[in-house]
């Protein structure tokens, strides 16, 4: 574990009509990262945020932007997302043909590099890039839409990846179906960053929702 567990609300579940206000609200509520799910309607069946949206909401918070690129290819767009204000850029192992090249480029742009795995993707794909990643994101639902149910078989994968990481300074993030009911199991398995969409934004009080997640894992 790299330290205290971080909470990263996904703005995919926010009120998009007032996105800047929503970002300020989760910042004030005590989140650690702002999670931005980028989808292209090709790699996953949904369309979401491009670099101009990230650039527009960047002034609303100083919290790190944790940008998850569910796009294929990702390599041609990495510089655009870096310049828009991303702090962590995560690409999918299943997307770009040359994962190593993408991770090297992200770091060369001065950003932290992440790699994500879909539920049916084996963690063995990570073996040869562990020296080039700052974050590993395990998808505990099939990517594309919020509000899905946590896939319990991912707990074993999280444990195996935690063992692979060892004492390397790599954060282990989990995204999908997280709530106060599932958060404790995920952290026990080895995660130290939790992405929460509906669990935060479906609440009338974001601070209470984030607090509930922290209480569940304490």
Domain residues of the chain, as ranges? Answer: 6-217
> What averages of pLDDT result for each successive group of 10 residues across the chain (218 residues)?
84 96 98 97 92 97 98 97 98 93 98 97 95 97 79 96 97 93 94 95 97 93
pLDDT confidence of residue 50: 95
Q: Is 131 a catalytic residue?
A: no
Q: Which one of 32, 40, 66, 175 is the catalytic residue?
A: 175
Question: What are 76's two structure tokens?
Answer: 């041609």
Give all strands (DSSP E) within 10-79, no chain letters: 34-39, 65-70
pLDDT confidence of residue 1: 53
pLDDT confidence of residue 3: 63
pLDDT confidence of residue 96: 83
Distances (CA, A) of 10 to 39, 133, 168: 13, 21, 26
- Spell out a b/e string for 78-102, using b for 16 or more CB atoms within 10 Å of the CB, else e: beebbebbbbbbbbbbbbbeebeeb
Highest CATH level, class, for 6-217: alpha beta
Q: Which one of 32, 37, 40, 66 is the catalytic residue?
A: 37
Which residues lie below 8 Å from residue 152, measured CB to CB, with a gap of 6+?
none
> How far is residue 36's CA from residue 32's CA, in Å, rounded to a whole number?
13
Q: What values do phi and psi take at 206, rounded to 5?
A: -65, -35
Q: Is 37 a catalytic residue?
A: yes
CB-CB contact of 192 with 158 (8 Å): no
């Amino acid at each position: 574990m790299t330290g205290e567990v971080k909470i990263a609300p996904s703005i995919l579940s926010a009120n998009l009509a007032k996105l800047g206000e929503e970002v300020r609200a989760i910042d004030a509520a005590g989140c650690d990262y702002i999670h931005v799910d980028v989808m292209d309607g090709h790699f996953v069946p949904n369309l979401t945020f491009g670099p101009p949206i990230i650039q527009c909401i960047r002034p609303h918070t100083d919290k790190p932007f944790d940008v998850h690129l569910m796009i294929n290819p990702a390599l041609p767009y990495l510089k655009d997302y870096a310049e828009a204000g991303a702090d962590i850029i995560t690409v999918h192992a299943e997307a770009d043909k040359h994962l190593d090249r993408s991770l090297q480029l992200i770091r060369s742009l001065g950003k932290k590099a992440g790699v994500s795995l879909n539920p049916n993707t084996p963690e063995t794909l990570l073996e040869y890039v562990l020296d080039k990643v700052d974050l590993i994101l395990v998808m505990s639902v099939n990517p594309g839409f919020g509000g899905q149910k946590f896939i319990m078989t991912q707990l074993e994968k999280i444990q195996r990846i935690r063992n692979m990481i060892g004492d390397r300074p790599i954060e282990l993030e989990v995204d999908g179906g997280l709530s106060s009911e599932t958060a404790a199991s995920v952290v026990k398995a080895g995660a130290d960053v939790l992405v929460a969409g509906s669990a935060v934004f479906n609440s009338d009080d974001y601070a209470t929702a984030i607090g509930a997640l922290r209480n569940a894992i304490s």
